[in-house]
Amino acid sequence: MGMTGKDTTEILRRRILRGLTLIIAFAAALVTLANVLKGYWLLATLDLMLCLFCTVIAWHHHKGHYQQWHSYAVMFLYILANSVVSMFGGLLSGLPFWLLTFPILLYLLFGKRVGLVGSAALLLIEVNILYFNTQIENTDAVISILINFVLAYIVIWVISHSYEMSRKSNEKKLVNLALRDALTQTYNRLALQEHFSQYLDKDDISVALLDIDDFKQINDRFGHDVGDCVLLQLSKLVRKTVGDDQVYRIGGEEFVVLFKDCTMDSLVSIIESLGHTIQHTQFGNDTLTINITISIGVSEVQDGTPLSQHLKQADERLYCAKRKGKNQAVFISTAPSVK
């Protein structure tokens, strides 16, 4: 079974969270010790709680027990701890530099929407906290430091946003490359496996296996360029007829069509119309046009039956259609064919 873009994103975010919890736990342990030595018991308690919580979360991740709220909880405690520390320490303590990590972590853990809104909200909150809790008589100096802090924050925010946009775009392209056939741009066998598992909860699903009759002769007589044109044009015609998200090229001249929530009467009507349209359509290139026909084998999905079994059954019915003279569809082994 393949992996979707959503799956890969979740794996990435879990790895980031696992690493983040370990880093935060270690840093919180050091800060806890420093605050104990300085007698800052409230800060030491908060940092110790953060350290222990992150350690527990990291242990759960090590055991494979991940839940979505872990990310929100760790990020909330991280923001809270840094905000409290900045409030007590002020601008000159150097602790506010940790606030610059907020946009990076928000985008990495939660994506564009939460990253954008969260980064904006936290910038406003933290600037107010720092301004009103910095004990410096020289107001101009405070404002100057705050301006530099805000500018650095915005630079990191913009970079984080750009990175997430680029990552999302590249991920989409990679998923498209993995799930689409290079020639016809229909879905491929991997996509068929992905989608079939998602459609199993539907009441009426049928798997139709389409094969171009005598396609080898087309390649041998007219060349593979013409054969590729035929495949491309046929895929466009089938997608236009039944829908782009239902057509899959699984190899050579074979295509699979998944029919969802389609009664047998509707299925027969659609396949009859498709076969008739293909038979009366001219395929080829600018210098050569040919006519083709297709044979089809159809299998109805039963609960719990794997895709491989349905493809095998559809393949048997497809070759039954071939033996009966091609240019027809077979729905059940003993039923008459549909031309």
Active site residues: 253
One-letter amino acid at 218 equals I
Terminus-to-terminus CA distance in the chain, angstroms?
A: 35
Residue 138's SS3 state is coil
Helix (H) or strand (E) holding 204: none
Give the bridge partners for 291, in sequence order.
282
Query: d(Cα 67, Cα 14) in Å, to the nearest integer?
Result: 10
Q: Are 327 and 339 in contact (CB under 8 A)?
A: yes
Q: Are 327 and 213 in contact (CB under 8 A)?
A: yes
Characterize the bridge pairing of strands 294-300 and 205-212. antiparallel
Total Cβ atoms within 10 A of residue 50: 24
Residue 227, both tokens: 């054969």
Q: Are 262 and 295 in contact (CB under 8 A)?
A: no
Query: d(Cα 280, Cα 284) in Å, to the nearest integer?
Result: 13
Query: d(Cα 98, Cα 334) in Å, to the nearest integer?
Result: 73
Of 152, 58, 148, the closest CA to residue 104 belongs to 152
CA atoms within 13 A on the CB side of 92: 8
Helix (H) or strand (E) holding 301: none
Q: Are 78 and 53 in contact (CB under 8 A)?
A: no
Query: d(Cα 295, Cα 338) in Å, to the nearest integer?
Result: 10
